[in-house]
Amino acid sequence: MTRLKRICINLSLVALLVLPAQASADDDLVIDIIGGIEGATPIAVVPFQRADGVEPETEIAPIITANLVRTGRFDILPEDDLVDTPGRLEDVRFSTWRAQGVDHLVVGGIDDAGDGRYEIRFELLDAFQGQRTDGRRYRTEERHLRTLAHNISDRIYEAITDREGTFTKQIAYVAVEQREDGDGRRHRLVVADSDGHRPQTILTSDEPLLSPAWSPSRDRLAYVSFEGRRSEIFIQDIRTGERDRVASFRGINSAPAWSPDGEQLAVTLSRDGAANIYLIDVASGDVRPVTDHWAIDTEATWSPDGEWLYFTSDRGGRPQIYRTTPDGSETERVTYEGPYNARPSISPDGERMAMVHQHDGQYYIALQDLETEAVQIISDGPADESPSFAPNGDLVIYTAGGTEGQRLATASIIGGAVAPLDSTEQPNTRVREPAW
Protein backbone atom coordinates (compact mmCIF):
# COMPACT_ATOMS: atom_id res chain seq x y z
CA MET A 1 0.00 0.00 0.00
CA THR A 2 2.81 2.35 -0.94
CA ARG A 3 0.70 4.79 -2.92
CA LEU A 4 -1.23 5.74 0.16
CA LYS A 5 -1.12 9.30 1.18
CA ARG A 6 -1.26 10.45 4.76
CA ILE A 7 -3.04 13.63 5.69
CA CYS A 8 -3.13 14.91 9.18
CA ILE A 9 -5.43 17.76 10.10
CA ASN A 10 -5.34 19.00 13.61
CA LEU A 11 -8.68 20.68 13.81
CA SER A 12 -8.19 21.99 17.29
CA LEU A 13 -5.15 23.93 16.15
CA VAL A 14 -7.11 25.39 13.30
CA ALA A 15 -10.02 26.22 15.55
CA LEU A 16 -7.69 28.00 17.95
CA LEU A 17 -6.10 29.98 15.13
CA VAL A 18 -9.38 31.09 13.74
CA LEU A 19 -11.11 31.69 17.03
CA PRO A 20 -8.43 32.28 19.64
CA ALA A 21 -10.93 33.25 22.33
CA GLN A 22 -12.83 29.97 22.10
CA ALA A 23 -12.09 27.09 24.41
CA SER A 24 -13.51 24.33 22.26
CA ALA A 25 -14.80 21.10 23.74
CA ASP A 26 -13.02 19.40 20.86
CA ASP A 27 -9.48 20.44 21.65
CA ASP A 28 -8.31 16.86 21.26
CA LEU A 29 -10.06 16.26 17.97
CA VAL A 30 -7.55 14.90 15.52
CA ILE A 31 -8.48 13.40 12.23
CA ASP A 32 -5.88 11.09 10.85
CA ILE A 33 -6.72 9.86 7.41
CA ILE A 34 -4.79 7.12 5.73
CA GLY A 35 -5.85 6.25 2.26
CA GLY A 36 -5.95 7.31 -1.34
CA ILE A 37 -8.48 9.94 -2.19
CA GLU A 38 -8.10 9.91 -5.94
CA GLY A 39 -11.35 10.86 -7.60
CA ALA A 40 -12.62 12.44 -4.40
CA THR A 41 -14.71 15.58 -4.70
CA PRO A 42 -12.74 18.72 -3.79
CA ILE A 43 -14.67 20.78 -1.25
CA ALA A 44 -14.00 23.63 1.17
CA VAL A 45 -15.86 23.98 4.46
CA VAL A 46 -15.53 27.55 5.68
CA PRO A 47 -15.86 28.18 9.44
CA PHE A 48 -19.33 29.57 10.11
CA GLN A 49 -19.32 33.31 10.67
CA ARG A 50 -20.41 34.38 14.13
CA ALA A 51 -22.39 37.53 14.75
CA ASP A 52 -20.92 39.88 17.35
CA GLY A 53 -21.26 38.50 20.86
CA VAL A 54 -22.46 35.09 19.66
CA GLU A 55 -20.20 32.45 21.15
CA PRO A 56 -21.72 28.97 21.12
CA GLU A 57 -19.53 26.22 22.53
CA THR A 58 -20.17 23.97 19.56
CA GLU A 59 -18.34 24.68 16.31
CA ILE A 60 -20.37 23.48 13.36
CA ALA A 61 -17.88 23.50 10.47
CA PRO A 62 -15.33 21.11 12.07
CA ILE A 63 -18.07 18.57 12.73
CA ILE A 64 -19.16 18.73 9.08
CA THR A 65 -15.55 18.50 7.91
CA ALA A 66 -14.86 15.45 10.08
CA ASN A 67 -18.01 13.74 8.82
CA LEU A 68 -17.22 14.37 5.15
CA VAL A 69 -13.54 13.41 5.45
CA ARG A 70 -14.47 10.10 7.02
CA THR A 71 -16.38 8.97 3.94
CA GLY A 72 -13.32 9.07 1.68
CA ARG A 73 -15.43 10.72 -1.00
CA PHE A 74 -14.19 14.25 -0.38
CA ASP A 75 -10.90 16.03 -0.77
CA ILE A 76 -11.20 18.77 1.84
CA LEU A 77 -9.26 21.97 1.37
CA PRO A 78 -7.07 22.27 4.50
CA GLU A 79 -8.14 25.20 6.65
CA ASP A 80 -4.65 26.70 6.41
CA ASP A 81 -5.23 27.06 2.67
CA LEU A 82 -8.44 29.05 3.02
CA VAL A 83 -7.71 32.43 1.44
CA ASP A 84 -11.09 33.82 2.30
CA THR A 85 -13.81 33.09 4.89
CA PRO A 86 -17.11 34.23 3.37
CA GLY A 87 -20.30 33.67 5.34
CA ARG A 88 -22.85 33.84 2.52
CA LEU A 89 -23.27 33.45 -1.22
CA GLU A 90 -23.11 37.20 -1.79
CA ASP A 91 -19.62 37.38 -0.24
CA VAL A 92 -18.09 34.57 -2.30
CA ARG A 93 -15.63 35.28 -5.13
CA PHE A 94 -16.01 32.01 -6.99
CA SER A 95 -12.93 32.55 -9.21
CA THR A 96 -10.73 32.36 -6.10
CA TRP A 97 -12.17 28.97 -5.14
CA ARG A 98 -12.04 27.64 -8.69
CA ALA A 99 -8.34 28.60 -8.80
CA GLN A 100 -7.83 26.43 -5.72
CA GLY A 101 -9.50 23.51 -7.45
CA VAL A 102 -12.56 23.55 -5.21
CA ASP A 103 -15.80 22.20 -6.72
CA HIS A 104 -18.07 22.83 -3.76
CA LEU A 105 -18.08 25.30 -0.94
CA VAL A 106 -19.90 25.18 2.39
CA VAL A 107 -20.48 28.54 4.08
CA GLY A 108 -22.71 29.58 6.94
CA GLY A 109 -23.33 31.83 9.87
CA ILE A 110 -24.64 31.76 13.41
CA ASP A 111 -26.60 34.54 15.05
CA ASP A 112 -28.47 35.19 18.28
CA ALA A 113 -32.16 34.28 17.97
CA GLY A 114 -33.07 35.41 21.50
CA ASP A 115 -34.18 33.33 24.49
CA GLY A 116 -30.81 31.57 24.50
CA ARG A 117 -31.40 30.23 21.02
CA TYR A 118 -29.29 30.52 17.93
CA GLU A 119 -30.14 31.07 14.29
CA ILE A 120 -27.92 28.97 12.04
CA ARG A 121 -27.74 29.31 8.30
CA PHE A 122 -25.80 27.15 5.88
CA GLU A 123 -25.31 27.21 2.12
CA LEU A 124 -23.82 24.60 -0.19
CA LEU A 125 -22.39 26.39 -3.21
CA ASP A 126 -21.27 25.08 -6.60
CA ALA A 127 -17.99 26.84 -7.41
CA PHE A 128 -18.26 26.26 -11.16
CA GLN A 129 -21.87 27.25 -11.59
CA GLY A 130 -21.48 30.05 -9.08
CA GLN A 131 -24.83 28.96 -7.62
CA ARG A 132 -26.40 27.73 -4.43
CA THR A 133 -27.03 23.97 -4.50
CA ASP A 134 -28.71 23.84 -1.11
CA GLY A 135 -29.33 26.23 1.74
CA ARG A 136 -31.29 26.30 4.97
CA ARG A 137 -31.91 28.30 8.10
CA TYR A 138 -32.50 26.78 11.55
CA ARG A 139 -33.31 28.02 15.03
CA THR A 140 -32.22 25.88 17.95
CA GLU A 141 -30.50 25.67 21.33
CA GLU A 142 -26.87 25.00 22.10
CA ARG A 143 -27.52 21.38 23.06
CA HIS A 144 -28.88 20.61 19.59
CA LEU A 145 -26.02 22.17 17.62
CA ARG A 146 -24.18 18.85 17.20
CA THR A 147 -27.30 17.15 15.90
CA LEU A 148 -27.78 20.08 13.55
CA ALA A 149 -24.20 19.79 12.28
CA HIS A 150 -24.85 16.11 11.51
CA ASN A 151 -28.10 17.06 9.83
CA ILE A 152 -26.33 19.59 7.62
CA SER A 153 -23.65 16.97 6.88
CA ASP A 154 -26.36 14.60 5.65
CA ARG A 155 -27.83 17.28 3.36
CA ILE A 156 -24.43 18.09 1.88
CA TYR A 157 -23.61 14.42 1.40
CA GLU A 158 -26.95 13.74 -0.28
CA ALA A 159 -26.73 16.80 -2.53
CA ILE A 160 -23.25 15.95 -3.82
CA THR A 161 -23.21 12.15 -3.91
CA ASP A 162 -26.91 11.51 -4.46
CA ARG A 163 -26.65 8.91 -1.70
CA GLU A 164 -28.36 8.75 1.69
CA GLY A 165 -26.51 10.54 4.47
CA THR A 166 -26.23 8.66 7.76
CA PHE A 167 -24.38 11.06 10.02
CA THR A 168 -27.52 11.64 12.09
CA LYS A 169 -27.88 7.91 12.79
CA GLN A 170 -26.43 6.95 16.18
CA ILE A 171 -23.91 4.22 16.88
CA ALA A 172 -23.86 1.77 19.78
CA TYR A 173 -20.73 0.27 21.27
CA VAL A 174 -19.27 -1.42 24.33
CA ALA A 175 -16.79 0.46 26.53
CA VAL A 176 -14.60 -1.44 28.97
CA GLU A 177 -12.40 0.05 31.68
CA GLN A 178 -10.71 -0.97 34.90
CA ARG A 179 -12.85 -0.18 37.90
CA GLU A 180 -11.56 2.66 40.08
CA ASP A 181 -11.19 0.29 43.04
CA GLY A 182 -9.01 -1.94 40.84
CA ASP A 183 -11.39 -4.84 41.33
CA GLY A 184 -12.15 -6.10 37.85
CA ARG A 185 -13.58 -4.33 34.84
CA ARG A 186 -16.62 -2.21 34.21
CA HIS A 187 -18.52 -2.79 30.98
CA ARG A 188 -20.84 -0.16 29.56
CA LEU A 189 -23.28 -0.31 26.68
CA VAL A 190 -23.18 3.11 25.06
CA VAL A 191 -25.22 4.95 22.43
CA ALA A 192 -23.44 7.94 20.83
CA ASP A 193 -23.49 10.24 17.83
CA SER A 194 -22.06 8.72 14.64
CA ASP A 195 -18.82 10.66 15.21
CA GLY A 196 -18.40 9.21 18.70
CA HIS A 197 -19.49 12.33 20.57
CA ARG A 198 -22.19 12.65 23.21
CA PRO A 199 -21.96 9.10 24.57
CA GLN A 200 -24.89 7.98 26.70
CA THR A 201 -24.40 4.87 28.81
CA ILE A 202 -27.58 2.78 28.76
CA LEU A 203 -26.29 -0.19 30.78
CA THR A 204 -23.38 -0.72 33.19
CA SER A 205 -22.22 -4.15 34.33
CA ASP A 206 -19.27 -5.72 36.14
CA GLU A 207 -19.70 -8.69 33.80
CA PRO A 208 -19.00 -8.71 30.06
CA LEU A 209 -21.36 -7.15 27.52
CA LEU A 210 -21.07 -7.77 23.81
CA SER A 211 -22.62 -7.81 20.34
CA PRO A 212 -25.07 -4.89 20.40
CA ALA A 213 -27.36 -4.90 17.35
CA TRP A 214 -29.84 -2.19 16.33
CA SER A 215 -33.39 -3.20 15.55
CA PRO A 216 -34.37 -2.13 11.99
CA SER A 217 -36.66 0.52 13.53
CA ARG A 218 -33.63 1.72 15.55
CA ASP A 219 -35.57 2.00 18.80
CA ARG A 220 -34.16 -1.13 20.43
CA LEU A 221 -30.82 -2.84 20.90
CA ALA A 222 -30.31 -6.58 21.19
CA TYR A 223 -27.13 -7.54 23.02
CA VAL A 224 -25.39 -10.25 25.01
CA SER A 225 -24.88 -9.80 28.75
CA PHE A 226 -23.08 -11.93 31.34
CA GLU A 227 -24.88 -10.25 34.26
CA GLY A 228 -26.24 -13.71 35.16
CA ARG A 229 -22.67 -15.08 35.15
CA ARG A 230 -23.26 -16.63 31.73
CA SER A 231 -24.23 -15.39 28.29
CA GLU A 232 -27.86 -14.32 27.85
CA ILE A 233 -29.54 -12.25 25.14
CA PHE A 234 -31.53 -9.13 25.99
CA ILE A 235 -33.55 -6.63 23.98
CA GLN A 236 -33.58 -3.13 25.47
CA ASP A 237 -35.70 -0.15 24.52
CA ILE A 238 -33.33 2.79 24.01
CA ARG A 239 -35.68 5.46 25.28
CA THR A 240 -37.42 3.77 28.20
CA GLY A 241 -34.53 1.52 29.25
CA GLU A 242 -36.97 -1.36 29.62
CA ARG A 243 -35.57 -4.69 28.60
CA ASP A 244 -36.54 -8.31 28.06
CA ARG A 245 -34.39 -11.39 28.38
CA VAL A 246 -35.08 -13.25 25.16
CA ALA A 247 -32.65 -16.18 25.38
CA SER A 248 -31.33 -17.88 28.51
CA PHE A 249 -30.95 -21.52 27.58
CA ARG A 250 -28.34 -23.98 28.78
CA GLY A 251 -24.96 -23.10 27.23
CA ILE A 252 -24.26 -20.16 24.96
CA ASN A 253 -26.89 -17.51 24.16
CA SER A 254 -25.23 -14.99 21.88
CA ALA A 255 -24.70 -13.20 18.54
CA PRO A 256 -28.16 -11.66 18.04
CA ALA A 257 -28.98 -10.38 14.53
CA TRP A 258 -32.30 -8.77 13.63
CA SER A 259 -34.13 -9.93 10.52
CA PRO A 260 -34.78 -7.08 8.05
CA ASP A 261 -38.46 -6.98 9.08
CA GLY A 262 -37.49 -6.84 12.77
CA GLU A 263 -39.68 -9.84 13.61
CA GLN A 264 -36.96 -12.39 14.22
CA LEU A 265 -33.58 -12.61 15.85
CA ALA A 266 -30.98 -14.98 14.47
CA VAL A 267 -28.96 -16.13 17.47
CA THR A 268 -26.30 -18.64 18.48
CA LEU A 269 -27.38 -21.23 21.04
CA SER A 270 -25.61 -24.35 22.26
CA ARG A 271 -28.58 -25.69 24.22
CA ASP A 272 -28.69 -28.84 22.08
CA GLY A 273 -24.94 -29.47 22.11
CA ALA A 274 -22.73 -27.62 19.66
CA ALA A 275 -23.08 -23.90 18.92
CA ASN A 276 -25.67 -23.57 16.15
CA ILE A 277 -27.79 -20.84 14.57
CA TYR A 278 -31.43 -20.53 15.68
CA LEU A 279 -34.24 -18.09 14.97
CA ILE A 280 -36.19 -16.53 17.82
CA ASP A 281 -39.55 -14.97 17.06
CA VAL A 282 -39.29 -11.67 18.92
CA ALA A 283 -43.03 -11.38 19.70
CA SER A 284 -43.70 -14.97 20.79
CA GLY A 285 -40.25 -16.12 21.90
CA ASP A 286 -40.59 -19.28 19.79
CA VAL A 287 -37.25 -20.86 18.90
CA ARG A 288 -36.52 -22.68 15.65
CA PRO A 289 -33.20 -24.29 14.64
CA VAL A 290 -31.50 -23.21 11.42
CA THR A 291 -28.19 -25.07 11.39
CA ASP A 292 -27.51 -28.45 12.99
CA HIS A 293 -23.81 -29.18 12.83
CA TRP A 294 -21.25 -30.53 15.30
CA ALA A 295 -18.90 -27.62 14.44
CA ILE A 296 -19.16 -24.05 15.74
CA ASP A 297 -21.78 -22.08 13.80
CA THR A 298 -22.13 -18.49 15.02
CA GLU A 299 -22.21 -14.76 14.13
CA ALA A 300 -25.22 -14.99 11.85
CA THR A 301 -26.20 -11.90 9.88
CA TRP A 302 -29.01 -11.40 7.38
CA SER A 303 -28.83 -10.48 3.73
CA PRO A 304 -30.91 -7.31 3.26
CA ASP A 305 -33.57 -9.26 1.32
CA GLY A 306 -33.88 -11.70 4.23
CA GLU A 307 -33.24 -14.69 1.97
CA TRP A 308 -29.86 -15.69 3.39
CA LEU A 309 -28.15 -15.93 6.75
CA TYR A 310 -24.39 -15.50 6.52
CA PHE A 311 -22.49 -17.01 9.44
CA THR A 312 -19.09 -18.15 10.71
CA SER A 313 -18.40 -21.88 10.92
CA ASP A 314 -15.30 -23.98 11.50
CA ARG A 315 -16.94 -27.04 9.92
CA GLY A 316 -14.11 -27.02 7.36
CA GLY A 317 -11.43 -27.02 10.08
CA ARG A 318 -10.84 -23.27 10.40
CA PRO A 319 -13.37 -20.45 10.73
CA GLN A 320 -14.79 -19.46 7.35
CA ILE A 321 -18.02 -17.77 6.29
CA TYR A 322 -20.96 -19.78 4.97
CA ARG A 323 -24.50 -18.89 4.12
CA THR A 324 -27.75 -20.74 4.57
CA THR A 325 -31.42 -20.15 3.94
CA PRO A 326 -33.39 -19.23 7.08
CA ASP A 327 -35.00 -22.68 7.01
CA GLY A 328 -31.53 -24.25 6.91
CA SER A 329 -32.31 -26.24 3.77
CA GLU A 330 -29.51 -24.90 1.59
CA THR A 331 -25.98 -24.12 2.83
CA GLU A 332 -22.87 -23.08 0.92
CA ARG A 333 -19.40 -21.81 1.68
CA VAL A 334 -18.75 -18.14 0.85
CA THR A 335 -15.10 -17.39 1.73
CA TYR A 336 -12.04 -19.16 0.35
CA GLU A 337 -9.26 -16.58 0.59
CA GLY A 338 -7.09 -16.76 3.71
CA PRO A 339 -7.06 -19.16 6.66
CA TYR A 340 -9.52 -17.21 8.83
CA ASN A 341 -12.62 -15.27 7.86
CA ALA A 342 -15.29 -14.48 10.44
CA ARG A 343 -17.98 -12.07 11.69
CA PRO A 344 -19.72 -11.24 8.40
CA SER A 345 -21.70 -8.02 7.87
CA ILE A 346 -23.61 -7.54 4.61
CA SER A 347 -23.86 -4.13 2.92
CA PRO A 348 -27.38 -2.67 2.68
CA ASP A 349 -27.35 -3.15 -1.12
CA GLY A 350 -26.39 -6.80 -0.66
CA GLU A 351 -23.36 -6.49 -2.91
CA ARG A 352 -20.54 -6.67 -0.39
CA MET A 353 -19.61 -8.45 2.78
CA ALA A 354 -17.33 -7.00 5.46
CA MET A 355 -15.53 -9.54 7.65
CA VAL A 356 -12.60 -10.19 9.97
CA HIS A 357 -9.85 -11.52 7.73
CA GLN A 358 -6.54 -13.01 8.78
CA HIS A 359 -3.52 -12.11 6.67
CA ASP A 360 0.11 -12.89 7.62
CA GLY A 361 -0.99 -13.75 11.12
CA GLN A 362 -2.75 -10.43 11.72
CA TYR A 363 -6.41 -9.54 11.69
CA TYR A 364 -7.90 -6.96 9.36
CA ILE A 365 -11.30 -5.89 8.15
CA ALA A 366 -11.77 -6.97 4.54
CA LEU A 367 -14.50 -6.56 1.98
CA GLN A 368 -15.57 -9.39 -0.27
CA ASP A 369 -17.51 -8.65 -3.42
CA LEU A 370 -20.33 -11.17 -3.22
CA GLU A 371 -20.51 -11.54 -6.99
CA THR A 372 -16.84 -11.66 -8.06
CA GLU A 373 -15.58 -13.00 -4.67
CA ALA A 374 -12.71 -10.47 -4.84
CA VAL A 375 -11.32 -9.71 -1.36
CA GLN A 376 -9.88 -6.36 -0.37
CA ILE A 377 -8.35 -5.43 2.99
CA ILE A 378 -9.67 -2.02 4.10
CA SER A 379 -8.22 -1.58 7.62
CA ASP A 380 -4.72 -1.27 9.06
CA GLY A 381 -4.72 -4.14 11.58
CA PRO A 382 -3.16 -5.78 13.50
CA ALA A 383 -6.11 -6.89 15.64
CA ASP A 384 -9.20 -5.42 14.04
CA GLU A 385 -12.65 -6.91 14.60
CA SER A 386 -16.43 -6.42 14.65
CA PRO A 387 -17.16 -4.73 11.28
CA SER A 388 -20.58 -3.10 10.88
CA PHE A 389 -21.84 -1.26 7.81
CA ALA A 390 -23.14 2.29 8.06
CA PRO A 391 -26.87 2.39 7.26
CA ASN A 392 -26.03 3.76 3.78
CA GLY A 393 -23.30 1.18 3.19
CA ASP A 394 -20.61 3.75 2.38
CA LEU A 395 -18.57 3.18 5.53
CA VAL A 396 -17.66 0.24 7.69
CA ILE A 397 -17.24 0.95 11.40
CA TYR A 398 -15.10 -1.53 13.35
CA THR A 399 -12.88 -2.09 16.38
CA ALA A 400 -9.31 -1.09 15.59
CA GLY A 401 -7.14 -3.19 17.88
CA GLY A 402 -3.43 -3.20 18.58
CA THR A 403 -0.91 -2.59 21.32
CA GLU A 404 -2.56 0.75 22.07
CA GLY A 405 -5.79 -0.93 23.10
CA GLN A 406 -9.06 -0.76 21.27
CA ARG A 407 -10.87 2.14 19.71
CA LEU A 408 -13.42 2.59 16.97
CA ALA A 409 -12.51 3.46 13.42
CA THR A 410 -14.24 3.76 10.08
CA ALA A 411 -13.09 2.64 6.66
CA SER A 412 -14.71 3.87 3.47
CA ILE A 413 -15.69 1.28 0.90
CA ILE A 414 -14.35 3.52 -1.87
CA GLY A 415 -11.11 5.44 -1.67
CA GLY A 416 -9.88 3.31 1.20
CA ALA A 417 -9.91 6.14 3.74
CA VAL A 418 -9.38 4.88 7.29
CA ALA A 419 -10.10 7.22 10.20
CA PRO A 420 -10.21 6.58 13.94
CA LEU A 421 -13.46 7.72 15.44
CA ASP A 422 -13.04 10.62 17.79
CA SER A 423 -14.09 9.48 21.22
CA THR A 424 -14.95 11.29 24.40
CA GLU A 425 -14.22 8.12 26.38
CA GLN A 426 -11.11 8.06 28.61
CA PRO A 427 -7.86 7.19 26.77
CA ASN A 428 -7.45 3.88 28.61
CA THR A 429 -11.04 2.83 27.97
CA ARG A 430 -11.40 0.09 25.42
CA VAL A 431 -14.05 1.02 22.93
CA ARG A 432 -15.32 -1.85 20.82
CA GLU A 433 -18.19 -3.80 19.27
CA PRO A 434 -19.66 -0.92 17.26
CA ALA A 435 -23.08 -1.14 15.62
CA TRP A 436 -24.28 1.62 13.29
Q: Establish if 225 lies at the interface with another protein (CB under 8 A).
A: no
Among 258, 308, 322, 363, binds another protein (CB under 8 A): 363
Q: Establish if 275 lies at the interface with another protein (CB under 8 A).
A: yes
3-class secondary structure, 292: coil
State the nearest-atom distance from the C-beta of 316 to another protein, in Å: 13
Among 314, 348, 351, 414, binds another protein (CB under 8 A): 314
Site string for another protein, 323-352 (x = CB under 8 A): -----------------x-xx---------
Q: Establish if 255 lies at the interface with another protein (CB under 8 A).
A: yes
Cβ(190)–Cβ(173) below 8 Å: yes
Q: Establish if 210 lies at the interface with another protein (CB under 8 A).
A: yes
Query: Edge-to-edge, what's the strand order for the sheet holding 185-192?
Result: 200-205, 185-192, 171-178, 430-435
Work out whether the CA dihedral 78, 80, 84, 88 comes out positive or negative: positive
Among 261, 318, 327, 373, binds another protein (CB under 8 A): 318
Gap between the Cα atoms of 302 and 250, Å rounded: 25
Cβ(371)–Cβ(359) below 8 Å: no
State the nearest-atom distance from the C-beta of 77 to another protein, in Å: 38
Site string for another protein, 164-203 (x = CB under 8 A): ----------------------------------------
Longest dimension (CA), the chain: 71
Q: Establish if 403 lies at the interface with another protein (CB under 8 A).
A: yes
In angstroms, how far is the first alpha carbon of the chain from the final one? 28
Of 144, 14, 141, whose CA–CA distance to 69 is shortest? 14
Q: Which helix (H) or strand (E) holds 145?
A: helix 145-161
Q: Establish if 289 lies at the interface with another protein (CB under 8 A).
A: no
Gap between the Cα atoms of 196 and 49, Å rounded: 25
Residues contacting 257, CB < 8 A, separation 6+ = 213, 222, 265, 266, 267, 300, 301, 302, 309
Among 193, 232, 299, 422, binds another protein (CB under 8 A): 299
Among 67, 71, 170, 231, binds another protein (CB under 8 A): 231
State the nearest-atom distance from the C-beta of 268 to another protein, in Å: 7
Of 139, 153, 182, 190, whose CA–CA distance to 65 is shortest? 153
Q: Establish if 4 lies at the interface with another protein (CB under 8 A).
A: no
State the nearest-atom distance from the C-beta of 16 to another protein, in Å: 35
Q: Establish if 383 lies at the interface with another protein (CB under 8 A).
A: yes
**Burial class of residue 5, CB neighbours in 10 A (0-12, 13-18, 19+):** exposed
Cβ proximity to another protein: between 122 and 363 the closer is 363
Q: Establish if 138 lies at the interface with another protein (CB under 8 A).
A: no
Interface ranges with another protein (CB under 8 A): 208, 210-211, 226, 229-231, 251-252, 254-255, 268, 270, 275, 296, 298-299, 312, 314, 318-319, 340, 342-343, 356, 358, 363, 383, 385-386, 401-403, 433
